[in-house]
Structure 1
Amino acid sequence: MKKITLLSFSILFIFSFATLAQENTFEKIKQEYEAFQYAKVIEVSTNFASHGNMSDSLKIDIYLMRAVSFYSIGKEDSTRNNFFEILLLKKDYNPDPAKISPKLISIFNSVKNDFIKTHTPQIEQIDSTDNQSALIQINPAFKYSILQNFIVPGWGQIKSGSLTKGITLATLSTANLAAMIYFISNTNKKEHDYLIETDKSLFQQKYDSFNSSFKTRNILIASYVVIWLYSQLDFLFISGSNSSENNFISTTRLLIETAYYGVQLSYRLPLQF
Structure 2
Amino acid sequence: MAVGPARAQAPGEAVVAAVRAALQQFAYAEAEQQARAALAEPERFSLDQLTELHALLGQVAYAQGEDVEARRQFEAALSLNPHLTLDPLLVSPKIIAFFEEVKRTWTPPEARTSPTDPPPRYVVVPDPRPAAALRSMLVPGWGQLYKGERRKGRWLLGAWVGTAGATAAAHLARARAEDAYLAAREPDRIADRYQRFDRWHKLRNNLALAAAGVWVVSYVDALVAAGSVPAVGRRLDLYVVPDGSGWHGGLRWRLP
Is the pair's TM-score, using the shorter chain for normalization, greater than 0.5? no
| Structure whose alpha-carbon radius of gyration is higher | 1
Quick check: which one's helix share is greater? Answer: 1
TM-score (norm 1): 0.40
